[in-house]
Amino acid sequence: MVDTRPFLPVSSHAGSDPTGPSENRRKPMKLQLSIFFVLLTVGFFAALLTSNNGSDNGFVKENEHGSLASPSSEKQLRPVSRGPAVGVSEKSNRLFAKDNENQLAYPWNNSMLSWQRTAFHFQPEKNWMNGPLFYKGWYHFFYQYNPHAAVWGDIVWGHAVSKDLIHWLHLPLAMVADQWYDKNGVWTGSATILPDGKVVMLYTGSTTENVQVQNLAYPADHSDPLLINWVKYSGNPVLVPPPGILDKDFRDPTTAWLTSEGKWRITIGSKINKTGIALVYDTKDFIYYELLDGVLHAVPGTGMWECVDFFPVSKTEENGLDTSVNGPSVKHVVKASLDDDRHDYYSIGTYHEKNGTWIPDEPKIDVGIGLRYDYGIYYAAKTFYDQNKNRRVLWGWIGESDSEAADMQKGWASVQSIPRTILFDKKTGTHLLQWPVEEIESLRLKSYEFNQVKVQAGSVVPLDVGPATQLDIIAEFEIDKEALEKTTGSNVTFSCSSSGGTIERGALGPFGLLVLADDSLSEQTPVYFYIAKGSDGKLKTFFCNDQSRSSVASDVNKQIYGNLVPVLEGEKLSLRVLVDHSIVESFAQGGRTVITSRVYPTKAIYGAAKLFLFNNATEASVSASLRIWQMNSAFIRPYPNNKESQ
């Protein structure tokens, strides 16, 4: 049963009132100077899996057996790949496709739609966005942007700057589609800082004939820290699809790295038939290029590779590395965004500079068939090296999973994830560790602490933290050891996505948090662990996010996300969750497994959004210790006296 009395925190640390007017809640930007540069432009993002949902009144807190209520069955819809005519990812409204033409749109009102806009995630002032970039004392976002509507199309580069990755100022458009070689879109690009401090940028353009080509651009004034004006090289394009590569399968140049011979090297995503590949080019001047024999890497059956990323990670140090670093103490990561399924896959391996190839350490978890950056709605991510703080930072794009009609009604679509530091996980040797950048902690307000809260099997415990719309949650869970030992193992397999979510009651799970839940639990988004015990007695731990009851609306995505998370001997189950209105970013075991979800509640909004602990296991109790902060809003506004950005 649900105890309706909220569990009171052990301590509540004073801070600003998070329910006050937003303009009074915001803190001034920290003016910290970062002398570094890297670009992160990510492009073309797509409609994500959508599915039909249950009825409005089919949700209750518990059924007569004490388990959380079941959602109605859902029909999964396959993602639509980028259209052959345009060669880019588009948001496609599959909710109203032929087999769903009787699906009714939910009657969203302005209050609901306004609540969905995030408070501390970067997003444009209006319309449709996706990717990012960087430079010299300022963090830069050069994001793909439609100035005319909240849908894909008419893509130019918007521009915003920040001193701390959190507070952003909008600048005038950086580049527009005004040349024959980018007339159909200024797409993804990457920047490289040269030894003399100058910057060069390579970006993909779609020509008047819809051919994907690579173009060169550079700042009009290298002394301008805001990089207001850019010049396109008069000899563009500098690269066209090589023989054997289709016109629409040649995109997303990476940041360049130096070889031991003093040449710059880049890789570009492509495919041959259904084999995803990363082409490799050498250049001395970013104008003339040599295509290396072979490819950096190729994986059959993975389809088109977009937004390829390639970078080193230290095997011994707790810091990031410049992209050009190589040597025996380094591993290299190859990441590709798969156009076929809209997920970002990575693998760790060994780079061979001489022939420009890379080999995964574990072929069973190769690129596209193994590990993901994020098991939720997260795509086209790219890293950059932050020289100022000696860290590698990952940025990704969070699309919308509601209907296109709703996007048009609210006037904007998609946001950028909170930047994450990224490190090699020395304990597993196979995973990366992702964690929100430390700057996000500057937004923390009033805090709440709960120690050793006992959550019995089949119970839900409210947590008294006030409105639960903007939160930073750090939690540890301990499961009853006696239950772990006594529980009988089985050969039944478990999967977050196909095992029914939190309604699937096992002896040892699910248990965790209910975020963005209303008092009746008719709307809730569980973030949870599930422990499965095999017939051999071995334990497998899953980390999941269940959107099936996140909203009573019928025209939004309600998938269940998640995957296995390695839990090593002596480790407690730990998670961190950032809740920012319609965005929930969740990190398990220090960031070994990460899930981002986009949810659209109709009831659990504003002051009605609550936070709960839950345990739907049948045999085991759990205890939870938590530290929770209300979160302030970030400044995201036009640069002073910048009329063009409005």
Which pLDDT does position 82 carry in this prediction?
31
Which pLDDT does position 16 carry in this prediction?
39
Q: What is the pLDDT of residues 392-405, one digit of tens each?
A: 999 998 989 888 88
Q: What is the pLDDT of residues 355-367, one digit of tens each?
A: 999 999 999 999 9
Which pLDDT does position 504 carry in this prediction?
87
What's the token pair of residue 221?
Answer: 């004034």
Question: Can you tell me the distance from the alpha carbon of 149 to that of 73, in angstroms, rounded to the nearest whole number?
Answer: 34
What residue ranges define each of the domains in the chain, with the CATH number in brackets? Answer: 180-398 (2.115.10.20), 445-631 (2.60.120.560)
- Which whole-number Å values give the CA distances from 364 to 330, 388, 393, in the listed order? 21, 36, 26
Question: Can you tell me the distance from the alpha carbon of 316 to that of 62, in angstroms, rounded to the nearest whole number?
Answer: 48
pLDDT interval class at 642 (50, 70, 90): low
pLDDT interval class at 12 (50, 70, 90): low
* Residue 137 vs residue 52, higher pLDDT: 137
Which pLDDT does position 3 carry in this prediction?
56
Measuring CA to CA, which residue among 289, 306, 195 is closest to residue 253? 306
pLDDT-above-90 percentage for the chain: 66
* Residue 452 vs residue 412, higher pLDDT: 452
Question: Can you tell me the distance from the alpha carbon of 278 to that of 306, in angstroms, rounded to the nearest whole number?
Answer: 9
Which pLDDT does position 77 carry in this prediction?
35
Element (H, E) at 236: none
Mean per-residue pLDDT, 228-238: 97
Q: What is the pLDDT of residues 234-288, one digit of tens each?
A: 999 999 999 999 999 999 999 999 999 999 999 999 999 999 999 999 999 999 9
Element (H, E) at 2: none
Mean per-residue pLDDT, 161-171: 94
Mean per-residue pLDDT, 497-501: 89
pTM (2 d.p.): 0.85
Q: What is the pLDDT of residues 187-215, one digit of tens each?
A: 888 988 888 888 899 999 999 999 999 99
Cα–Cα–Cα angle for 294, 299, 304, rounded to 5 degrees = 90
Edge-first strand order for the sheet with 636-638 is: 412-413, 127-129, 139-146, 156-162, 168-175, 636-638
pLDDT-above-70 percentage for the chain: 81
Residue 315 has pLDDT above 90, yes or no: yes
Q: Please name the residue that has the structure tokens 């050891």.
A: 481
Q: Please name the residue that has the structure tokens 């950028």.
A: 416
Q: What is the pLDDT of residues 53-110, one digit of tens each?
A: 333 332 233 333 333 333 333 333 333 333 323 333 344 334 433 344 455 689 999 9
Residue 544 has pLDDT above 80, yes or no: yes
Element (H, E) at 24: helix 22-25
